[in-house]
Structure 1
Amino acid sequence: MSRRWTAILRPPLFHGGDETLTERLIAIGDIHGCRNALKTLLEAVDPGPQDIVVTLGDYVDRGPDSAGVIDELIALGKRTRLVSLMGNHEEMMLEVVRHGEPHHNWLRYGGVETLESYNFDGGLDFLSPEHDRFFDSLGDYFVTDDYFFTHAAYDPGLPLEEQSTEMLRWYSLTEGVPPQHISGKTAVVGHTANRHGEILDVGHLLCIDTYCYGGGWLTAVDLKTRKYWQASDDGVLRS
């Protein structure tokens, strides 16, 4: 599948709120259709109207209820300050749905499960207007306080507004953890699944993709206190 890179990188929009009123800064890793895990996690974290919750992308594919995950995130955005980033799986889906790209790679990497969750009947117009608006709202990076957030990684020597979407959405940490970014801020990323279920913390970078769809955990971290919560898709919670 060819990749249609965005011409301009864009930070996502807040769904309300003034950043100076922040109470907690919470990041949530790759959800991949695991709605039950997301609901369990949100019940434990209980985000309030002054919290910022950053979701790192890959909401769809592989897990059993991608459509339900988007419903949960839309509802979440109505009660807290939600910042949602674009993952490579959203990119693959939207390339097929909106731009007519070949579907084979997307289906191979979890698109079948996504289509099933939307009760796919053969047409590519299966996204509701509300879900379309959610996908339109996704940004490529977010910066606040001493942290920045991307789906996958970053080029350490380039400002975030000059990064390629290849690096932000597709780079795997198995190819090497990048050095600290020139901004000096701590990076919070997902994308590279830690199959043992533990957060990867190398000081200047945290990776919180903990392999929920594969029997691992969905992770949320309060960056200011480093408290974390993890939920499995069968409803088990640990922190």
Structure 2
Amino acid sequence: MERTIVIGDIHGGLKALIQLLERIKITPQDRLIFLGDYVDGWSDSANVVTYLIELGKQNSCTFLRGNHDDLTHRWLKTGELNEQWLLHGGQSSMDAYRNFTKPEIETHINFFEQMLNYYIDKEKRLFVHAGFTNLHGPEQEYHNTGYYWDRTLWETALSLDTSLPREHDHYPARLKLFKEIFIGHTPTTRIKKDKPVNAANVWNVDTGAAFKGKLSAMEVRTKELWQSDPVFELYAEENGRN
């Protein structure tokens, strides 16, 4: 049976990504949906992008745009330097691209430009890096940055009274739009969870690979879970973003 597998924030952890895909035992029939933030963190940011470009040639892949991907793309294309980006993983990406040739960088820029802000499947499941704010859905979002910066969707899901029925007038309108929503962006380790967390109909698959957590993947129908080893253990020689 064809599987649809959603994969959380990688943050330059190529060793974790390779280990995770080996544990999943992916086949050409699998659909892989990556939730963004491929870069900024461990030393393999540029190598992660190269790996994903090649993976996309062999497998059915959807690559969503994360906030770190947007910032790295801006730097690669225009030289734009964001001070906060440098403090939160950007320097590691700059270092990772140091030995890349101009043609290689152009290929990566093209990859960044082809990323999607969100994806909705036939089962009315939404996949987005962070969230959206418009009550009529992501198609009506006023600013693209919400797709990869918004945290209010996750905060709303986390704070929702679990006894409130979906039909209630006070049930968040955004959550009613989709069967399920899969996001990354906010590590579940912030609420002391080392696995993907479900709140209302939202699944957060970012399990803190950029810090002390693991890289996670989930089959969207069955909720079968796979995880890498803690990524910081795979990059024990680095400080990364811990």
The TM-score normalised by the length of structure 2 is 0.79
Q: Is 1:226 equivalent to 2:223 in the alignment? A: yes
CA distance in 2, matches of 1:31, 1:82: 15
The answer on whether the counterparts of 1:158 and 1:182 sit within 8 Å (CA) in structure 2 is no
Matches within 5 A, 1:1-239: 23-119=2-98, 128-144=105-121, 145-155=123-133, 157-163=135-141, 164-172=143-151, 176-178=155-157, 179=172, 180-195=174-189, 196-232=193-229, 233=231, 234=233
CA distance in 1, matches of 2:132, 2:179: 12
Q: What are structure 1's unaligned runs of at least 5 residues?
A: 1-21
Higher helix share: 2
Q: 1:50 to 1:175 in 2, by over 3 A?
A: closer
The answer on whether the counterparts of 1:118 and 1:126 sit within 8 Å (CA) in structure 2 is no
Q: CA deviation at 1:149?
A: 0.4
1:146-171 Cα deviation digits (max 9, x unpaired) = 31100001226122211232321111
Q: CA deviation at 1:200?
A: 1.4
The TM-score normalised by the length of structure 1 is 0.80
Q: CA deviation at 1:25?
A: 0.8
Q: Which amino acid aligns with 2:209?
A: C
Q: Which amino acid aligns with 1:194?
A: T
The answer on whether the counterparts of 1:64 and 1:114 sit within 8 Å (CA) in structure 2 is yes
CA distance in 2, matches of 1:176, 1:119: 38
Count of residue pairs the alignment pairs up: 212
Q: 1:103 to 1:167 in 2, by over 3 A?
A: closer
Q: CA deviation at 1:174?
A: 9.1
Q: 1:108 to 1:190 in 2, by over 3 A?
A: same
Q: Percent identity?
A: 31
The secondary structure found in structure 2 opposite 1:209 is: coil
1:171-215 Cα deviation digits (max 9, x unpaired) = 125972253534232100000011132211013100010001212
The answer on whether the counterparts of 1:147 and 1:187 sit within 8 Å (CA) in structure 2 is yes
Which one is further off, 38-47 or 164-173? 164-173
Q: CA deviation at 1:110?
A: 0.6
1:7 counterpart residue number = none
1:18 counterpart residue number = none
The higher radius of gyration belongs to 2
Which one is further off, 196-205 or 52-61? 196-205
Q: Which amino acid aligns with 1:45?
A: I
CA distance in 1, matches of 2:182, 2:118: 10
Q: 1:120 to 1:72 in 2, by over 3 A?
A: closer
* Cα RMSD (Å): 2.3
2:161 counterpart residue number = none
